[in-house]
Amino acid sequence: MNFTAAAKMAQAQGIKADYVIVNDDVSIAEKGNRRGTTITVLVHKIAGAAAEEGWTLPEVKRVAQKVIDNGRDIGIALTPCSVPAAGKPTFELGPDEIEFGIGIHGEPGVQRMKYMTSSELAKIMVDKIVDDLKLQKGDEIFLVVQGTGGTPYMEKFVFYRDVRKYVESLGFKVFGSWIGEFMTSLEMQGGRVAILRLDEELKRLLMAPAYTIAIRTIGPIPLPVVT
């Protein structure tokens, strides 16, 4: 609602403006009610690369929408976070419980689950994304595995290993991966998995040079010339 109002205000001042709505959170069945999560970062990266090349506003919007149409995400929490204004945890979890399908602002998820192994979680989360995206064996994907603010890197790497092994067992080709912290929820411990189905246009823009706090790409690395 706020972004729509901002675009209309800009248009009233003669500024060319438009917007897209990211709705990649597959934990919510009704697509019209879905939240924007990790795929938002990939929209910024790819649409930003297109804008940097001088694409027109409608062209930038088109490729941003392509990212939204081909990307999905899901997250889980092992602990809640405390929003500063509230001063208390946003929800409560038992010592053996997982909050499944969380948002990015400390919101509770859609289901409470018992603790399970990293590989079991990876399968459940990837299956939700694969089913919603209708991915096919042989599809080329970009994989993002991140923490939620308070997850140690060792645990993120273990979880990434399990997610990567499972998606490859399903026959998908992993073009590239990000492991880290890109869209977090303060001190929450947990993780998110995001998958973007790629084509040649998206691959090129994804690899375009960028240097930010969260995203640093230097573009394709040329192969050495053998003489």
CB 210 within 8 A of CB 217: yes
* Tokens linked to 41: 């970062």
Of 105, 152, 153, 168, the catalytic one is 105
Is 44 annotated in the active site?
no
Widest pairwise Cα distance in the chain: 65
Q: Which residues pair with 140 in a beta bridge?
A: 173
Q: CB under 8 Å to 15, separation ≥6 — which residues?
A: none
CB 159 within 8 A of CB 122: yes
Cα 130 to Cα 77, 98, 202: the distances in Å are 21, 21, 19
CA distance 120 to 199: 29
CB 55 within 8 A of CB 210: no
Closest CA to 195 of 61, 27, 24, 32: 24
* Tokens linked to 78: 């092992």
Q: CB under 8 Å to 223, separation ≥6 — which residues?
A: none
Active-site residue numbers? 105
